[in-house]
């Protein structure tokens, strides 16, 4: 420990680097990989009072744990930092200069579109091996086949197996950082040995969502197989390392496995998505207080994102999950970006997306507010699809002319007023999430929703 150790404030999360058995009564024993939360500083700066996941408190040595921090914004994480995309043979040879046996990179093949080329520096010259892509497998010699480039590189790192040399040192693409290194540095890398995958609880375009057991706790695990998809999910995981709120689904950590892909481990939400929850229970089970509580839960999460300058971009009841104790939490940060960046609008959910975001790709907290209005409508209609009886192609033209959906049956007029404010065509005149939360709290405290 250096003499200038910065003091960690209460609430700081740490991950254990070693096992600590504790020697005194007041010590808190822990195992390597446990996540601990700092409660207070002690008189000795080398020791902290902390609590573990089950709430037990005790004293821990600071040098046995690593403070967790958000993955740095603005760096490009890569599962394949040695992959350089579309570069020419000559560019590859320049990148592998000066020669160093075992220095390598992978590029897209220029002569055979769809295939790749492995370029390896060996005894002063660069060898180019064509990687053939056939029946969704990759191979260099058509003897050994691989699911993806990560597996192929892993194989030839351990054994030359017919190449001029084994792969020793990746030539990292400029501006990228190996994902595994960054998740380890910031304290978010978990160990595959500690995770048991139990059963599939959902399917996405990217792979399966599984119920898992991480050191005795139930967790949800997104298992992402393919290189390209996994790469997109790294961005989601790194956003999640920066966010902390009781109404956001909490990231527990990330596992990067060379051979099998990427695992994003989050808290388990026993009651599934809000839209299914509303549809399956309906009016007879869910009272007015319950609907308002869900609305407030989501609003508080969104107020937190607003304050931290994050735009969700895909807020909808399908992307809100419900915990065992009926707390609604916003999830799916696949499209979440620091405010300001633009994105491809091809896949946007038309009925939930604000007109300016569809038209000019202008995403902001105010476009999230529009989506929140639609989500309120979903809550109060018990999970109906918005704009009922209007063909999808007609939704945008009608909305741009000022059309607003009617209030769902039985929706309190005061809540419908909130929805309509969210659907103001001029984003500048929509309320902020801070204002929306104040309005919903007022409705709750005065019991105006009854």
Same domain (yes/no): 326, 407: yes
Q: Is 222 annotated as a binding residue?
A: yes
CATH number of the domain bearing residue 255: 3.30.200.20
DSSP state of 145: -
What CATH number is associated with residue 37?
Answer: 2.30.30.40
3-state secondary structure of 31: coil
Q: Pairing relation of β-strands 328-330 and 251-257?
A: unpaired
From 314, 325, 394, 426, the catalytic residue: 314
Domain count, the chain: 4
Please check whether residue 213 lies inside any domain of the structure: yes
- How much is the pLDDT for 340? 42
pLDDT given at position 341: 42
Same domain assignment for residues 390 and 432: yes
Q: Is 54 left (phi over 0), alpha (psi -120 to 50) or beta?
A: alpha
135-to-92, 130, 151, 207 alpha-carbon distances in Å = 27, 16, 16, 19
CA distance 6 to 3: 9
Pick from 218, 249, 267: which residue ends a domain? 267
The answer to whether position 181 is within a domain reads no
In tens digits, what is the pLDDT along the chain, a chain of 450 residues?
344 567 899 999 999 999 999 999 999 999 998 999 999 999 998 999 999 988 999 999 999 999 999 887 777 888 889 999 999 999 999 999 999 999 999 999 988 888 999 999 999 999 999 999 888 899 999 999 998 898 899 999 999 999 999 999 999 999 889 898 899 999 999 999 999 999 999 887 678 899 999 989 999 999 987 666 777 788 888 888 989 899 999 999 999 886 667 899 999 999 999 999 999 999 999 999 999 999 999 999 999 999 999 999 999 999 999 999 999 999 987 666 655 444 444 567 999 999 999 999 899 999 999 999 999 999 999 999 999 999 999 999 999 999 999 999 999 999 999 999 999 999 999 999 999 999 999 999 998 877
Concatenated DSSP letters for 48-83? EEEE-TT--EEEEEGGGEEE--PPPTT-EEES-TTB
Q: Residues 6 or more apart from 33 whose CB is under 8 A from it?
A: 15, 16, 190, 191, 194, 215
- The whole-number pLDDT of residue 6 equals 79
Q: Is residue 164 part of a domain?
A: yes
- Is 197 within 8 Å of 212 (Cβ atoms)? yes
314 is catalytic: yes
Kindly state whether residue 178 falls inside one of the protein's structural domains. Answer: no
The per-residue pLDDT for 1 is: 39
Determine the pLDDT at residue 251: 93
User: Which residues face 119 on adjacent strands?
Assistant: 105, 128
Same domain, 161 and 238: no
**Strand, helix or coil for residue 233:** helix
Domain containing residue 201: 190-267
- 299 is written with which tokens? 């609003």
The torsion angles phi and psi of 358, rounded to 5 degrees, stand at -70, -40
Q: What does the pLDDT read at residue 25?
A: 94
pTM: 0.83
Residues 263 and 281 in one domain: no
Q: Are residues 405 and 303 in the same domain?
A: yes
Same domain, 222 and 165: no
Q: Which tokens in the block code for residue 203?
A: 């399917």
pLDDT, position 134:
84
């Amino acid at each position: 420990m250096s003499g200038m150790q910065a003091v960690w404030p209460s609430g700081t999360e740490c991950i254990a680097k070693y096992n600590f058995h504790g020697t005194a009564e007041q010590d808190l024993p822990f195992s390597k990989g446990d996540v601990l939360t700092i409660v207070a500083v002690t008189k000795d700066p080398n020791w902290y009072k902390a609590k573990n996941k089950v709430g037990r408190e005790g004293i821990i040595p600071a040098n046995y744990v690593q403070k967790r921090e958000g993955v740095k914004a603005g760096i490009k994480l890569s599962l394949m930092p040695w992959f350089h995309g579309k570069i020419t043979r000559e560019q590859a040879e320049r990148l592998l200069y000066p020669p160093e046996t075992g220095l390598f990179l992978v590029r897209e093949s220029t002569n055979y579109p769809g295939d790749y080329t492995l370029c390896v520096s060996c005894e002063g010259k660069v060898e180019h091996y064509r990687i053939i892509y056939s029946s969704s497998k990759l191979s260099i010699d058509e003897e050994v086949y691989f699911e993806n480039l990560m597996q192929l590189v892993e194989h030839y790192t351990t054994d030359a197996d017919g190449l001029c040399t084994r792969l020793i040192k990746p030539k990292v693409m400029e501006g990228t950082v190996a994902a595994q290194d960054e998740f380890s540095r910031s304290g978010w890398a978990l160990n595959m040995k500690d995770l048991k995958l139990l059963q599939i609880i959902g399917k996405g375009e990217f792979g399966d969502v599984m119920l898992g057991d991480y050191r005795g706790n139930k967790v949800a695990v997104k298992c992402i197989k393919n290189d390209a998809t996994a790469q997109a999910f790294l961005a989601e995981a790194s956003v999640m390392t920066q966010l902390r709120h009781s109404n956001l689904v909490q990231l527990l950590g990330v596992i990067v496995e060379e051979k099998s892909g990427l695992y994003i481990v989050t808290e388990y939400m026993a009651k599934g998505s809000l839209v299914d929850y509303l549809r399956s229970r309906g009016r007879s089970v869910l009272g007015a207080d319950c609907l308002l509580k869900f609305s407030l839960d989501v609003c508080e999460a969104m107020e937190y994102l607003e304050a931290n300058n994050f735009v969700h971009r895909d807020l909808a009841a399908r992307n809100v999950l419900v915990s065992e104790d009926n707390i609604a939490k916003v999830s799916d940060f696949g499209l979440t970006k620091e405010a300001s960046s633009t994105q491809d609008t091809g896949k946007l959910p038309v009925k939930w997306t604000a007109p300016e975001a569809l038209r000019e790709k202008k995403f902001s907290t105010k476009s999230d507010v529009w989506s929140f209005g639609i989500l309120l409508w979903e809550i109060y209609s018990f999970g109906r699809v918005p704009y009922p009886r209007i063909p999808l192609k007609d939704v945008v033209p009608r909305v741009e002319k000022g059309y607003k959906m009617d209030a769902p049956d039985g929706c309190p007029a005061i809540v419908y007023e909130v929805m309509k404010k969210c659907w103001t065509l001029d984003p500048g005149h929509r309320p902020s999430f801070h204002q929306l939360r104040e309005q919903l709290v007022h409705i709750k405290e005065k019991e105006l929703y009854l």
